Amino acid sequence: MNDKTGHFRGEVMNGARMLLECLAREQVDCIFGYPGGVTLPFYDAMYDHPIRHVLVRHEQNAAFAASGYARATGRVGVCCATSGPGATNLVTGLVDSLMDSIPVVAITGQVATRLIGSDAFQEADTFGITRSCTKHNYLVKNLADLPQIVHEAFHIASSGRPGPVLVDIAKDVFQGQGRYEPVSAIHLPGYKVVVDGHAGQVRRAAQMMWEAERPLVYAGGGIIAAAAHEELRELVEALDAPAVCTLMGLGGLSSGHPNFISMPGMHGSYAANMAMTETDLLIALGVRFDDRVTGRLSAFAPKARVIHVDIDPAEIGKNRAADIPIVGDVKRVLKRLTQSLAETKDEMRAAGGAARKAWKRQVRGWMEEHPLTPEVSADEIKPQHLMAEIDRLSGGEAIVTVDVGQHQMWAAQFIRFHHPRLWINSGGLGAMGFGLPSAMGAQFAHPDRLVFSIVGDGGFQMSVPELATIVNHGLPLKIIIMNNGYLGMVRQWQELFYNNRLSSVQLDNFPDAALLAAAYGFRGRTIEHPRELAPALEECIQEPGPYLLNVRVTPFENVYPMVPAGAAIHEMVLRPPQPVEA
C-alpha cells in the first residue's frame, strides 16, 4: 500500500526494491554507477523507478562523480558498482572522499552468501578492502538487516565529520523476498557526535581573541561541511581579524572579503604564510593542520597560541597542540563565539585594539609587497593568465572543479570564490582523474549553473572515457585543459630537487582536441596564442552544450611561491631562480 509519503508499507518485495525504497526515503535523486552480474536484480528494480541512474564509463568515476555531487550540494552522493572489479575500482574515489570528509554512500554487489569465500567469479573481499577506505562499511547477508543498514549508512555518512560509507550487498539479499516495513529509528550506541562546544571554553576563547594583538583566522573544509560560512564572516568581522582559507576551505569566506588574505601553505601566498608565521593567536576552524599547510611543523606559527575548533576530537592536538580545544560543530561554536565576543566587547575590546589595527596594516603591507599577480606574455599563454581569464568570466560565481597538479594550485591562487561549494578539488588524497567526473556530479546537481572543469593534460587523459557520459546527458560542462605537455608538478620537483633529470614526465601524443570532441559529437578547439584566449573562452561559455578547450600553455612554467619540502612556510621561494648576468 502506498501511504502518504509515497513509500510502500507492508508490501512484499525483493531486496533490490527495498533498497530503492530506502534510498528514496533518504531523498536520493541520482545514482552514479556501473552494472554487473551480481547487481542485475538492483538494475532490474531501477528500470522503472524514478531514481535516476547515471551510467558512467568506469566505476572510479562513479565514486568521483558522487563526491562532486556531494561537494556541490552538501547532500549525500551515491555511487554503485558490482562485485569484484567493480568494487575495487571504487577504492580511489572512496579514499578521496574519506580524506576530504565528503558524504558518500557506495552500494556494491557481492556474490551470493553461500559463495562468499569460495573464490567465486568476480568475488573480492570488498568489506575487508574498503575497511580503511571508508568512515564505516557494512556487509549485508540478511535481507531483514538491509533497511536498517541503509539508513545507518546515510546517517553516518552525513553526520559528524562526514565521510564515505560502503554497503556491500550479497546477490541473494537483492533477490530475496520480504515484507517491507520502513525503519522508524536507528541506534548506534558507540557513534558519538558532539555538536555543542564547551561553553566555558568558548568564553575563554572569546577572551583570548580580545587579548590577542595579531589574531589570524585559519578556516578549512570544516566551514564548508558545516555550512558555517555566514558564521565565519560574522566572527571575522566582529574581531576584524585577517583570515586565510585552506585549499579545502576556499569560498568559506568570500575571496572578495576585505579581511581575506588567500590560501596558505606550500603554494600559498607570501602574505598568508607570513601571517601564519607572525600571528600570536591562530583561530583554527575546521582544519587539520595538514602538512601542505604547515610546512615544517616545528617552525609553524611559532609565536601563536591556538584555538582549535573541530567536530572530530581525533583532529585536535594531532599535529599541533591547542591552547583552547573546542570539540563541536563549527557552525554552532562560531555562533556562540561571536555572541561571546559581542558580550565582552565593551570591557575587552581595548585590550589588543591598537595592536590589532597595526597587525591588519602589516598584513596589508605583505599583500602589497608580494601580491599574487598572474604572469602574462605576448607570445605564449601563461597558465596563470589562463586562470585569471577564467576568473574574469566566473566573477567568483561559477563552479570550478580541478584535477591535481600545477593547474590546481594556479586555479586556487587566481580564481575567486564568493560562495562555498563552488571550488571542488581533491585536496587530501590528490587523486588525478578527479576533475572531469567530479564536474559531472556537480553539473547533475546544478544543471543550470556554469561549471568549469579545469584539468591538466595528464589528469584529463585519465578520465577521457567520461566524455561519452557528458555527451550522453547533454551536460554543458566547460572543459578547459591546461596543456603544458608535462606532468607539470612532478616535473617541477624533478627540475628543482632531482637535478633536472626529467624522468617519465613528458606527455607526448596528446590527441587533437577538436577531433576528439568531434568524435564524441561536441565542439572543441586548441589554442596557443594569448590573443586567442579571451575569445576562445567566451565561445566556450556561449556554447549551449559541452565544450572542450585545449589551451597550450608555456611548457616550463612552475608554481610559485613554493615552500620546499621540510622547510618552514616563511622560507618560501617566491620566484624561479633568475639567470645571473655575467
- Least Å distance, CB 564 to other proteins, is 24
The DSSP element (H or E) to which 169 belongs, if any, is strand 164-170
CA end-to-end span of the chain: 88
- Binding to other proteins in span 6-25, by CB under 8 A: 7, 25
Is 122 known to be catalytic? yes
C-alpha–C-alpha distance, residues 527 and 215, integer Å: 46
149 vs 216, beta carbon nearer other proteins: 149
Instruction: Mark out the alpha helices in 289-377 (DSSP H runs).
Output: 291-294, 330-343, 345-348, 353-369
> Of the candidates 47, 50, 184, 200, which one interacts with other proteins according to CB under 8 A?
184
- The span from the CA of 332 to the CA of 337, in Å, is 9
Q: Are strands 451-456 and 478-483 parallel, antiparallel or unpaired?
A: parallel
Nearer to other proteins, 136 or 523 (CB): 136
466 touches 56 (CB < 8 A): yes
Nearer to other proteins, 31 or 239 (CB): 31
Q: Are 48 and 76 in contact (CB under 8 A)?
A: no
Residue whose C-alpha cell is 568570500: 254
Q: Is 186 in the site for other proteins (CB under 8 A)?
A: yes
Q: How far is the CB of 109 from other proteins (least distance, A)?
A: 18
Q: Given the complex with other proteins, which of 251 and 352 has the nearer CB atom?
A: 251
| Nearer CB in complex with other proteins: 252/405 | 252
In this chain, which of 159, 344, 362, 461 binds other proteins, going by CB under 8 A? 159
Binder of other proteins out of 19, 80, 106, 225 (CB under 8 A):
225
Cα 453 to Cα 221: distance, rounded to the nearest angstrom: 20
Residues constituting the chain: 582
Asked if 312 is part of the footprint of other proteins (rule: CB under 8 A), the reply reads: yes
Would residue 141 show up in a list of annotated catalytic residues for this protein?
no
318 binds other proteins (CB under 8 A): yes
Amino acid found at 140 = V
Fill in the DSSP letter of residue 76.
P
Among 113, 115, 120, 136, binds other proteins (CB under 8 A): 136
Count residues contacting other proteins (CB under 8 A)? 49
Q: Which of residues 251-280 bind other proteins (CB under 8 A)?
A: none
User: What sign for the dihedral angle of Cα 256, 257, 261, 264?
Assistant: negative
Q: Is 531 in the site for other proteins (CB under 8 A)?
A: no
**C-beta separation of 302 from 398 below 8 A:** no
Asked if 139 touches other proteins (CB under 8 A), the answer is: yes
Q: Binding of other proteins at residue 38 (CB under 8 A)?
A: no
Looking at the DSSP bridge assignments, the partners of residue 260 are 243
The span of 12-20, 268-276, 419-427, 430-438 binding other proteins (CB under 8 A) equals 419-427
Q: Is 401 in the site for other proteins (CB under 8 A)?
A: no
Contact stretch for other proteins (CB under 8 A) within 341-349, 415-423, 488-496, 504-512: 415-423
Does position 190 interact with other proteins (CB under 8 A)? The reply is: yes
Residue with Cβ nearer other proteins (152 or 557): 152
Does residue 465 touch other proteins according to CB under 8 A? no
Q: Retrieve residue 62's grid coordinates.
A: 562513479
Select 195 or 505, whichever has its Cβ closest to other proteins: 195
The catalytically annotated residue of 8, 21, 26, 171 is 171
55 binds other proteins (CB under 8 A): no
Do 251 and 422 meet the contact criterion of CB atoms below 8 Å apart?
yes
DSSP letters, 54-73, are EE-SSHHHHHHHHHHHHHHH
576 dihedral zone (left: phi>0; alpha: psi -120 to 50; beta): beta
- Tell me, yes or no, if 171 is annotated catalytic: yes
Within a 10 A sphere around the Cβ of 189, how many other Cβ atoms?
5
Which of 18, 99, 482, 489 is catalytic? The answer is: 489
Does residue number 180 form part of the binding site for other proteins (CB under 8 A)?
no
How many alpha carbons lie under 13 Å from residue 473 in its C-beta half-sphere?
22
For other proteins, the closer of residues 135 and 478 by Cβ is 135
Question: At closest approach, how far in Å is the CB of 4 from other proteins?
Answer: 8
Nearest to 226 by CA among 248, 202, 258, 255: 248
| Contact map string, positions 361 to 400, toward other proteins, x by CB under 8 A | ----------------------------------------
Is 59 or 168 the residue whose CB approaches other proteins more closely?
Answer: 168
317: contact with other proteins by CB under 8 A: yes
189 makes contact with other proteins (CB under 8 A): yes
Least distance in angstroms from the C-beta of 132 to other proteins: 5
191 contributes a contact to other proteins by CB under 8 A? yes
The residue range among 223-231, 360-368, 390-398, 461-469 that interacts with other proteins, by the rule CB under 8 A, is 223-231
Buried b (16+ CB within 10 A) or exposed e, 192-208: eeeeebbeebbbbbbbb
Q: Which residues contact 431 (CB under 8 A, 6 or more apart)?
A: 64, 92, 93, 95, 96, 404
d(CA 361, CA 509): 51
Is 187 one of the binding residues for other proteins (CB under 8 A)?
yes
With both helix axes pointing from N to C terminus, report the angle between 488-497 and 406-414 in degrees, rounded to the nearest 10: 100
Catalytic residue among 8, 32, 46, 59: 59
Out of 49, 155, 449, 525, the only residue in the binding site for other proteins (CB under 8 A) is 155
Stretch that binds other proteins, among 81-89, 182-190, 201-209, 372-380 (CB under 8 A): 182-190
For residue 288, what are the contacts with CB-CB under 8 A and spacing of at least 6?
220, 310, 315, 318, 319
The DSSP output letter for 320 is S
Which residue in the set 39, 67, 110, 158 belongs to the binding site for other proteins (CB under 8 A)?
Answer: 158
- Residues annotated as part of the active site: 59, 121-122, 171, 489
What residues line the site for other proteins (CB under 8 A)? 5, 7, 25-27, 72-76, 127-128, 131-132, 135-137, 139, 151, 155-156, 158-159, 182-193, 224-227, 312-314, 317-318, 329, 331, 419-421
